[in-house]
């Protein structure tokens, strides 16, 4: 089983949605600030997930606005893969 953690990156806040590989909602959409306090709130949500499963964090590629979040994820031993929303729109 895998969890998909999709993040819409913005300048001051990020919106997140978590589902599993069967598209079951694991956590309703929520917003966290683009700062240390917000990142810690985000981390507390991730801590509720079953870490024996893969956690695939997929932030939107949005210039430099996600840089602090990506560094925070790396420090906390989470992998991520950015996606470009424009490229996804081309395929759908």
* pLDDT (0 to 100) of residue 40: 97
Per-residue pLDDT at 88 exceeds 90 = no
Q: What is the DSSP letter of 83?
A: B
* pLDDT (0 to 100) of residue 63: 77
Flag the least confident range among 1-5, 54-58, 84-88.
Answer: 84-88
Kindly report, residue by residue over 13-72, the tens digit of the pLDDT: 999 999 999 999 999 999 999 999 999 999 999 999 999 999 999 998 877 899 999 999
Structure tokens at 64: 């430099």
Secondary structure element (H or E) that encloses residue 75, with its range: helix 67-75
Rounded CA-CA distance 34/67 in Å is 10
Which three-class secondary structure state does DSSP give residue 13? strand
Rounded CA-CA distance 21/63 in Å is 28
Q: Judge if pTM exceeds 0.95.
A: no
């Amino acid at each position: 089983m895998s969890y998909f953690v999709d993040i819409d990156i913005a300048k001051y806040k990020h919106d997140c949605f978590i589902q599993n590989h069967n598209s079951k909602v694991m956590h309703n959409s929520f917003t966290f600030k683009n700062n240390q306090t917000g990142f810690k709130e985000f981390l507390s949500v991730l801590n509720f997930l079953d870490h024996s499963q893969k956690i695939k964090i997929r932030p939107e590629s949005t210039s430099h606005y996600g840089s602090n979040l990506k560094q925070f994820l790396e420090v906390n031993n989470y992998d991520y893969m950015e996606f470009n929303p424009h490229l996804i729109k081309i395929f759908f």
